[in-house]
Amino acid sequence: MESDSSESYMKNGFVELSHISLRPLELSDIDDFMVWVSDPKVARFCPWESYTNKEDGINYIKTKVPQHPWFRAICVNNRPVGATSVRPNSGNDMCRAELGYVLASKYWGKGIATQAVKIVTKTIFDEWPHLERLEAVVDVENVASQRVLEKAGFKREGVLGKYFIMKGSTKDMVVFSLLSTDPKT
């Protein structure tokens, strides 16, 4: 099956870092995209409910992805296994942007998200010279995602209580940041 070609890079659950890359997400990636967006384990800490039909996935790639100022598929051997995005701000908030990422659950625990975040941090400050702060807010219960950011060199700044509403309830969020002047790991 087609998915074997990316799975063959997971010998003993290990993925070569050099096989991890970022690229734009295309409509032709729809089947790979549906793997993670239809997974409730993945959607758990995301603001969206897991998708149940392919039309919603197609609609997202066609209309929502182009609205993102910066959006990339996270790929293993050029096959999408997740996505990452950076949201900029304007005016007096221009110095900061917010990072987000999502990964198919089959690929968790292998350092893929960490490597993807490292690739983002190596490029985004060059692409946006006015950017000084890349931040991320993570649910206090999403320990795995907090580990990704720590391993990628982000600094944990604190916990923001009842910071925003996700799926109907207010969440406590941990805020992390990486500055353009911080060492890139």
Partner 1 sequence: MEDNSLASTIKEGDGELSDISLRPMDLSDVDDFMVWASDDKVTHFCSYGPYTSREQGIKHIENKVIPHPWFMAICVNNRAIGAISVSANQGNDKCRGEIGYVLGSKYWGKGIATRAVKMASDAIFAEWPHLERLEALVDVENVGSQKVLLKAGFMQEGVLRKYFIHKGKTRDTIMFSLLSTDPRI
Q: Which residues contact partner 1 by CB under 8 A? A: 47, 92-96, 132-133, 135, 155, 157-166, 170, 175, 177, 179
Q: How far is the CB of 43 from partner 1 (least distance, A)?
A: 15
122, with CB counted inside 10 A (0-12, 13-18, 19+), is exposed
Q: How far is the CB of 92 from partner 1 (least distance, A)?
A: 5
Q: How far is the CB of 159 from partner 1 (least distance, A)?
A: 6
Q: Name the residue nearer to partner 1 (CB basis): 9 or 163.
A: 163
Q: Name the residue nearer to partner 1 (CB basis): 105 or 177.
A: 177
Q: Name the residue nearer to partner 1 (CB basis): 10 or 166.
A: 166
Position 152, amino acid = A
**CA–CA distance, 11 with 5 (Å, rounded to integer):** 11
Q: Name the residue nearer to partner 1 (CB basis): 10 or 95.
A: 95
Q: How far is the CB of 47 from partner 1 (least distance, A)?
A: 7
